[in-house]
Amino acid sequence: MALRPAALACLCLSLLLGGCTTTAVTVEATFPERPVVPLKVAVVYDEAFQRYTLSESIPQRGNWEIDLGAAQVALFRAMLPALFSTVTERDALAPEPEDSTAELLLRPQLQDMQFSIPYQTRSNFFEVWLKYEIELFERDGETLVARYPLTGYGRTRDGFLDSAQVAIEQAAITALRDAGAFFAIEFPRNQDALAAARVRAQQLRREKARAEAEAKAQTEAADETATEAAAEVDGDEAEGTPADAPQTPREEAP
CATH topology of domain 37-187: Rossmann fold (3.40.50)
Distances (CA, A) of 128 to 75, 125, 159, 163, 218: 16, 10, 17, 16, 56
Distance, in Å, from the CA atom of 113 to the CA atom of 66, rounded to the nearest integer, reads 10
Burial class of residue 29 (count of CB atoms within 10 Å of its CB; 0-12, 13-18, 19+): exposed
Identity at 182, one-letter amino acid code: F
pLDDT at 127 over 80: yes
pLDDT at 248 over 60: no
Q: Is the distance from CB of 128 to CB of 110 less than 8 angstroms?
A: no
Relative orientation angle of helices 164-186 and 69-79, to the nearest 10 degrees: 30
Q: Is the distance from CB of 164 to CB of 126 less than 8 angstroms?
A: yes
Global pTM value: 0.71
202-235 residue pLDDT tens:
888 888 888 888 888 888 888 888 888 887 777 7
Distances (CA, A) of 89 to 51, 61, 80, 84: 16, 39, 11, 13
For residue 198, the Cα-to-chain-centroid distance in whole angstroms is 14
150-174 residue pLDDT tens:
999 999 987 666 788 889 999 999 9
36 Cβ contact partners less than 8 Å away, ≥ 6 residues apart: 82, 83, 84, 184, 188
pLDDT at 20 over 60: no
| Residue 4 banded pLDDT, cuts 50, 70, 90 | low
Q: Is the distance from CB of 53 to CB of 7 less than 8 angstroms?
A: no
E strand or H helix that includes residue 156: strand 144-157
Identity at 4, one-letter amino acid code: R
For residue 180, the Cα-to-chain-centroid distance in whole angstroms is 12
Q: What residue segments make up the domains of the chain, in order of their start?
A: 37-187
Query: Which runs of consecutive H residues, i.e. helices, occur in 97-240?
Result: 118-121, 164-186, 191-239
| Residue 26 banded pLDDT, cuts 50, 70, 90 | low
DSSP 8-state assignment for residue 96: P
The pLDDT of residue 231:
79
Q: Are strands 144-157 and 53-58 parallel, antiparallel or unpaired?
A: unpaired
Distance, in Å, from the CA atom of 180 to the CA atom of 89, rounded to the nearest integer, reads 18
Q: Can you give the length of the chain in residues?
A: 254
Q: Is the distance from CB of 152 to CB of 130 less than 8 angstroms?
A: yes
For residue 155, the Cα-to-chain-centroid distance in whole angstroms is 25
